Structure 1
Amino acid sequence: MTRSQQAPSYRGASAHYLSPSRRDPVKILSEEPVTRRVIAGALGALGLGQHDPVHVLDVGSGTADGFALLARPAPDAPPLVDEDRLTYVGLDVDPEMVETARATVTSPSASFVRGDVRDTLPEGAFDLYLSCGVPYSHLTRDELVAALHSVLSAVAARGRRAAVVVDVLGRYSVEWQPRWGAERWDYAMSFFAGAGAAISEPMTFYSRPALDAAVDAAVAGSGARIVSRTAVDRSVLVGRHTATGTFHPQVPRFRTLVNDLLREPARVRPSDLGFVPATAGAPADVLAWLERFAARWNRVLEPWAGAGRLGEADAARLAHALLELERGAGPGLGVGHSLTMTLVAEPS
């Protein structure tokens, strides 16, 4: 029996992923642009021609967010890859996710299979091994090393360059500051919309050094070499668990507040958005970066420091200024909700 056959189903979770409320202003205006930029950079590193085919394996594809990011236009940008060039294979352990993806994505460019990256990979020569939605954090550190070793071995066997996007949970997100001392713990997905009882399972959280070490271990004996590696942090203050407070009840509800600036500005006072960074509990470079980010964030708030509730126009200006900071993304230290590393690999 394969691990995908043994894996528990996230019963009802697809209701969250298809819920209109999931695509809130933060997701549309900050998170998706950052992820699109990561994917565009990964594709750009491959040296493909404008009309060359692009073969993608999306690891932990869920209800096919990756396909939408690749093949659907953004509000102000064309698709990253035209569908007539794209061959997309979505891989997910959960049967409900796979069936939902098949029902909602009818493009002939896309197919979906149930499977686990820890088992045999789907057949095919892929240019991009994509992940979004932190699927690799479901694995232990050793399982991540084995999974990436399998992917890099496939790159070596193919005989040409490929890009690998590794999306994991950041260890030092403000969302779970009280748990910064642990690298793996039970993660309740209490932000799910319409999924019934909260789903909880152990997840692994990564700093940059820990993720680098996992990649280095995965490369050994794979027959591939890493040409380049880059990393970004996404959602520094607006991760979904700043809306729930599940793991850090004292954190300001940054995501809710920024969304409300655009949807219900009368509910927000600018002073509610102030950020006081931690001064202990993380490595010095993490604490120093968070201090600098706090200074930039709070500087944006200064013009409204004495204001009460804002009118719609001022609230929108403030929201967009804060989201511009978030779109800048962190430096890949593990200081955001997700830490996303892009590997460009080729046969050694």
Structure 2
Amino acid sequence: MIRSHQAPAPSYRGASAHYLSPSRRDPVKVLSEEPVTRRVIGAALAAIGRTGPGPVSVLDIGAGTADGFALLTRPAPDAPPLVAPENLTYVGLDVDPEMVRTARVTVTSPSASFVLGDVRDRLPEGAFDLYLSCGVPYSHLTRDELVVALRSVLTAVATRGRRAAVVVDVLGRYSVEWRPRWDSERWDYAMSFFAGGGAAISEPMTFYSRPALDAVVDAAGEGSGARIVARSAVDRSVLVGRHTATGTFNPDAPRFRTLVNDLVREPGRVRAADLRFSPATDGAPADVLSWLAGFAGRWNRTLEPYTGSGPLDGAAAARLAHALLGLERAGGPGLGVGHSLTMTLVVEPA
């Protein structure tokens, strides 16, 4: 995580229990969210020519309990690790002492080290190939603080003299999870989805549209000595973000995440009609509303063959879960229409 200087620091004591809880890796996370993030990381490494057997150096900013290390080194069911552990030099940077302590105990690989520090200050030494973030750590910052943080990263790329990829992960402004709050870019975000005994935490977070994130990146580049040669973005978890399970911010939305998880784990509880999505028709820019309308059409057409009067049997539920998770794995166009908006920058010294 990264903590804003402008808000009282919340207590993250006990939060590690959530991040390490086996229940956190539910079917949606394993079959949709992790594949999208792996695809982003793989594309970032490919963009700088760091695939294959050669060494890869990664700085994970806001590393928490080292999800990034697992994504890099854990094989997928249908693919090898993105980076073999013996080829990886991984440094996890986090501002929270408990997260750093937990990561050091949990990850014992000699490829990994963990540092207590703030991205807005001096970065760890080393010329990194990938400046990674996952789990929306940059949304803890205000927009101005994010400019400072990204300028620090871009300046490091320029100073260390080699091309690198930078992954910027933030909360999407126009997620269905918080439809009633689309008119605000920063508000008090309750992490009421915690598992494993961690106490709920609430703190201000910043939510981004694509134009807002582009503007931050442009401002960060000014005076950094770096040149951004490419940028791309993707939305992750359009209908299955964690707060569609809690209903904390949009109680009128169907519990999409719970329903999709139940299709995998307890199919007899789910009727296809319960998963129908009615998109918003106002409150967001025209391109956002248009894309959500198109996604709703694809999602609802997928439900049609399964819509009947009763719960689905196991085989039908499995087929529907596979189809819906496939729609989610495709991701959104990088407009801020999902739980997270992830931008990848290819950067080199100017």
TM range (shorter): over 0.9
Indicate yes or no: 2:328 matched with 1:320: no
- Asked if 1:304 corresponds to 2:327, the answer is no
Matched, 1:16 2:21: no
Alpha-carbon distance in 1 for matches of 2:189, 2:241: 14
CA distance in 2, matches of 1:26, 1:53: 31
Aligned to 2:334: 332
Task: Specify the alignment match of 1:44 in structure 2.
Answer: 46
Note the C-alpha offset of 1:8.
Answer: 4.4
Aligned 8 A contact 1:242 1:252 in 2: yes
Give yes or no for contact 1:276–1:294 (8 Å, CA) kept in 2: yes
Q: Is the 8 A contact 1:4 1:115 kept in 2?
A: no
Report the equivalent of 2:66: 64
Alpha-carbon separation, structure 2, partners of 1:78 and 1:54: 16
Match of 1:94 in 2: 96
Superposed CA offset, 1:254-298 (max 9, x none): 000000011011111110000000000000000000000000000
Q: Quote the residue 1:198 is aligned against.
A: 200
User: Which one of 321, 326, 342 corresponds to residue 344 of structure 2?
Assistant: 342
Distance in 2 (CA, whole Å) between partners of 1:199 and 1:143 is 21
Q: Which residue of 1 aligns with 2:83?
A: 81
C-alpha separation in 1, matches of 2:189 and 2:104: 28
TM-fit CA distance, 1:160: 1.1
CA contact (8 A) 2:167 2:343 kept: yes
Q: Which residue, out of 109, 123, 142, partners 1:140?
A: 142
Inter-partner Cα distance in structure 1 for 2:213 and 2:270: 37
Q: Percent identity?
A: 82
After superposition, what is the alpha-carbon deviation per residue over 1:52-94, rounded to whole angstroms, capped at 9, x for unaligned? 2111000011111100000111111100001111000001111
The letter of the residue matching 1:202 is P
Structure 2 residue runs without a partner (length 5+): none
Structure 1 residue 118, shift from structure 2 partner: 1.5
Q: Distance in 2 between matches of 1:152 and 1:280?
A: 37
- Please give the secondary structure, in 2, of the residue aligned with 1:87: strand
Q: Which deviates further from its counterpart, 163-172 or 186-195?
A: 186-195
1:250-329 correspondence to structure 2 within 5 Å: 250-329=252-331
Local SS of the residue matching 1:217:
helix
Equivalent residue letter for 1:146: V
Q: Distance in 2 between matches of 1:49 and 1:274?
A: 40
CA contact (8 A) 1:11 1:195 kept: no
Tell me, in whole angstroms, the C-alpha distance in 2 between the residues paired with 1:324 and 1:307: 25
Aligned with residue 28 of structure 1, among 27, 30, 36: 30
Are the equivalent residues in 2 in contact too, given 1:89–1:112 (CA < 8 A)?
yes
Aligned partners of 2:177 and 2:22: how far apart in 1? 23
| Structure 1 position 50, deviation (Å) | 2.6
Q: Is the 8 A contact 1:40 1:80 kept in 2?
A: yes
Return the alpha-carbon distance in structure 2 between the equivalents of residues 172 and 143 of structure 1: 21
Distance in 2, Cα, partners of 1:291 & 1:83: 42
TM-fit CA distance, 1:4? 9.6
2:209 alignment partner in structure 1: 207
CA offset at residue 7 of structure 1?
Answer: 4.8
The residue that corresponds to 1:128 in the other structure is 130
Shift of the 49–179 alpha-carbon distance from structure 1 to 2, 3 Å rule, reads closer
Q: Shift in Å at residue 308 of structure 1?
A: 1.2
What CA deviation, in whole Å up to 9, does each residue of 1:5-45 have, x standing for no partner? 99544111100011111000000000000000000000001
Deviation at 1:194, TM superposition (A): 2.9
Aligned length: 347
Residues 1:190 and 1:4: Cα distance change in structure 2 (over 3 Å) = closer
How far apart are residue 307 of structure 1 and its match? 4.2
Q: Is the 1:171–1:183 Cα contact (8 Å) retained in structure 2?
A: yes
5+ residue gaps, structure 1, are none
Q: Distance between the aligned counterparts of 1:46 and 1:60, measured in 2? A: 22
What corresponds to 2:249 in structure 1? 247
Q: Secondary structure at the match of 2:108?
A: coil
Q: 1:110 to 1:341 in 2, by over 3 A?
A: same
For residue 304 of structure 1, report the CA deviation from its aligned partner.
1.4
Post-superposition, which runs of at least 4 consecutive aligned residues in structure 1 deviate over 6 A? 3-6
Contact 1:4 1:93 in 2 (8 A): no
The structural deviation recorded for 1:305 is 1.8
Per mean C-alpha deviation after superposition, the further-off stretch among 45-54 and 269-278 is 45-54
TM-score (norm: length of structure 2): 0.97
Query: Aligned partner of 2:246: which letter?
Result: T
